[in-house]
Structure 1
Amino acid sequence: MSRTFASTADPETWSTFEEALSTATRPDVSGIGFVFTSDDPYVGVDLDDCRDPESGAFDPDAIRIVTRLQSYTEVSPSGTGVHVIARGRLPGGPRRRGGVEMYDDARFFTMTGDRVQGTPERACVRPSALRWVHASYVADDDDEGPDEAVSSRVAQVGSVSTTMDDTEVLQRAKAAKNGEKFSRLWNGSISGYESHSEADMALCCLLAFWTGGDDVQMDRLFRESGLLREKWDEVHFSDGATYGERTIERAIVRTDDLYR
């Protein structure tokens, strides 16, 4: 491991996690940092001055962001902020506004391992949630650049999740014109589909519509359906994504029309 200062632009100054961990206890090492690059699927969300270090209480915006992302979250080195690590990609535009910063390349976070209780133990695939956080807290209010279409879609994503709980989503889905199809899938029937995976995708597309593309709510609801199986939480992709995470991500992309 190099004893010189590391640079986010120079991979020669980086090391593997195992190497970093083995030297973390040295008196001249203050901590471990993770570098975000375009070659990895990770996005870091840095929330500054949002946590009371004595009580551990968060301010309302931090609660909203952490709850929406539902991914690995840890207390920052200062104790007054948090870092959220998720998998996805950021849209173009600013990377910082106020106390919210979002990066997926050429930045590093100093890691503490002090996970916030109740958050996942792993970085989860959260493409729509990341876009929502960016549009809500980081993007310029008057931005009408190439990401305008994405911002418009993000405005739809989350609009349902703030007004319809799981019970209402299910009631509306079952009462709709295609409610019989939804109910069959919800109850675990794969009749009419060539595979269980095709049925999974069909239900997820319906859930994407009714939840406004809220990946967290989609996952929560799918786990209550009769289609759930152990495969849902199995890692099936080289970037560490589970079968369920990738199915939800693809369903959101395929669903152009969202309920509102």
Structure 2
Amino acid sequence: MTPGSGEFASSTDPDTWTSVEIALKYADSGDADGVGFVFTDDDPIVGVDLDDCRDPETGDVDDRAQDIIARLDSYTEISPSGIGFHVLIEGELPDGRNRRGTIELYDTARFFTVTGDHLEETPGRVARRQDALEAIHREYVQGTDTGAKSESENRGVTSEQVSTDKTVDIDVDLEDEELLEKARNASNGSKFERLWKGNTAGYESQSEADMALCCLLAFWTGGDHTRVDRLFRQSGILREKWDDVHYADGSTYGDKTIERAIANTSEFYDPDARDDSSEASSRESESPTTGDRDEPAKNHAYLVEKNRLLSDRVDDLEATLKEKDDRIDELEATNELLREQLRDCQETLERREQTSNPEMDETSADEDNSIWGRVRRFAGGDN
């Protein structure tokens, strides 16, 4: 939230940020739950987010988090959830991936909540730790072999999917045209063909149709993120929004759609295990159209994405409602002020009337007692 205006802030729009003093005062007023820090390209700060590594009741910390915190040796605090830590250091984030499992590293376009719940055994200041940062990035995020990508990265599986303990280890060694032909000839090939040509009939939104096609492609490509993206760009459903950056970590709408599709696909086509496309089609988790939403296994991806879309819509509606409520309050206050001014004006006119001409005849009195007569005398000094 932007203090003062009460509108939603953005991690990529500096005009919506403010100083720590104003932010703290705004939070203390009860209008916000807390404060945070936005990483930018203009500051030397790197944030290390360690999730699901602390027992909030006992305070016990897992070995990996303890190792990272000890080696960074910089300001560290307990995260808002109480089950993780935020570490702030000075340095430059190495190239490559910035997330793996429950470890995330950020240095730009990211809002980091700040609790002030300092971990006592760590320094009270933000220290420069470039060497430690590079070592931790290499060992815990990028992988021990910096010259080669990890298997999950080569398969296009992001850290969000790795954190779900799902490993995709299928090599679909087929040319794109051959793969697309199998998808078209599967038992649900008509759905695939419609989506491929850009027909979104049967879906409540374009985003649901995007998700549906990505789920199908995720199944047929063996969960290959790069290949799903390449094929999707060849379809008739592609739109400019695909490459729009919608997330604080720099991910595009297309990136996140593919990630969710892969994460919510329960099984993948394996040409070595089966070459029967009609059977293979039953293994995918493509989001259903209206006719087959009663199949729970195939509905999972659809329901997950629909829930997200509905949540986003609720947030938008609540924000709009708040704006309208504020506008109503403003108009009611203005209306009351105008009423008070009108009452004051009427009282003034009545006092002037009583002292202006006590011997006026009945006709003149009726005219002068009218609202127009009183306003005319008040405005022109007519006695």
TM-score interval, smaller chain: 0.5 to 0.7
What is the CA–CA distance in structure 2 between the aligned matches of 1:143 and 1:87, rounded to whole Å?
22
Q: Deviations over 1:174-217 (max 9, x none)?
A: xxxxxxxxxxxxxxxxxxxxxxxxxxxxxxxxxxxxxxxxxxxx
Asked if structure 1 preserves the Cα contact closer than 8 Å seen for 2:46 and 2:88, the reply is yes
Aligned match of 1:18: 21
Instruction: List aligned pairs for 1:1-260, cutoff 5 A.
Output: 1=3, 2-140=5-143, 143-144=146-147
- Tell me the amino acid that sits aligned with residue 133 of structure 1: I
Q: Deviations over 1:125-167 (max 9, x none)?
A: 111011111111111455537xxxxxxxxxxxxxxxxxxxxxx
Q: Deviations over 1:67-93 (max 9, x none)?
A: 000000000000000000000011111
- Tell me the amino acid that sits aligned with residue 11 of structure 2: T
What is the CA–CA distance in structure 2 between the aligned matches of 1:92 and 1:123, rounded to whole Å?
22
Name the structure where strand makes up a greater proportion of residues: 1
CA-CA distance at 1:105 after TM superposition: 0.7
What is the CA–CA distance in structure 1 between the aligned matches of 2:59 and 2:99, rounded to whole Å?
24
Moved over 2 A (4+): 140-145
User: For this pair of structures, how many residues does the alignment match?
Assistant: 146
What is the CA–CA distance in structure 2 between the aligned matches of 1:134 and 1:143, rounded to whole Å?
10
- Tell me the amino acid that sits aligned with residue 119 of structure 2: V
What is the CA–CA distance in structure 1 between the aligned matches of 2:9 and 2:134, rounded to whole Å?
30
Aligned match of 1:180: none
- Tell me the amino acid that sits aligned with residue 108 of structure 2: D
- Tell me the amino acid that sits aligned with residue 52 of structure 1: D
- Tell me the amino acid that sits aligned with residue 24 of structure 2: L
TM-score of the two chains, using structure 1 as the length reference = 0.54
CA-CA distance at 1:99 after TM superposition: 0.6
User: SS of the counterpart of 1:131?
Assistant: helix
Asked if structure 1 preserves the Cα contact closer than 8 Å seen for 2:74 and 2:122, the reply is yes
- Tell me the amino acid that sits aligned with residue 76 of structure 1: S
For the aligned residues, what is the CA RMSD? 1.6
Gaps of 5+ in 1: 146-260
What is the CA–CA distance in structure 2 between the aligned matches of 1:88 and 1:141, rounded to whole Å?
20
Asked if structure 1 preserves the Cα contact closer than 8 Å seen for 2:53 and 2:65, the reply is yes
Asked if structure 2 preserves the Cα contact closer than 8 Å seen for 1:24 and 1:31, the reply is yes
Gaps of 5+ in 2: 149-383
What is the CA–CA distance in structure 1 between the aligned matches of 2:146 and 2:89, rounded to whole Å?
25
What is the CA–CA distance in structure 2 between the aligned matches of 1:143 and 1:23, rounded to whole Å?
45
Which fold has the larger relative contact order, with Cα–Cα distance below 8 Å and residues 6 or more apart in sequence?
1
Aligned match of 1:174: none
Aligned match of 1:198: none
User: SS of the counterpart of 1:92?
Assistant: coil
What is the CA–CA distance in structure 1 between the aligned matches of 2:10 and 2:51, rounded to whole Å?
23
- Tell me the amino acid that sits aligned with residue 35 of structure 1: V
CA-CA distance at 1:9 after TM superposition: 0.8
What is the CA–CA distance in structure 2 between the aligned matches of 1:123 and 1:142, rounded to whole Å?
29
- Tell me the amino acid that sits aligned with residue 78 of structure 2: V
- Tell me the amino acid that sits aligned with residue 79 of structure 1: G
Aligned match of 1:193: none
Asked if structure 2 preserves the Cα contact closer than 8 Å seen for 1:94 and 1:140, the reply is no
Asked if structure 1 preserves the Cα contact closer than 8 Å seen for 2:53 and 2:62, the reply is yes
What is the CA–CA distance in structure 1 between the aligned matches of 2:120 and 2:74, rounded to whole Å?
11
What is the CA–CA distance in structure 2 between the aligned matches of 1:51 and 1:57, rounded to whole Å?
6
What is the CA–CA distance in structure 2 between the aligned matches of 1:133 and 1:143, rounded to whole Å?
12
CA-CA distance at 1:26 after TM superposition: 2.0
Which protein shows a greater Rg? 2
What is the CA–CA distance in structure 1 between the aligned matches of 2:114 and 2:21, rounded to whole Å?
14
CA-CA distance at 1:108 after TM superposition: 1.4
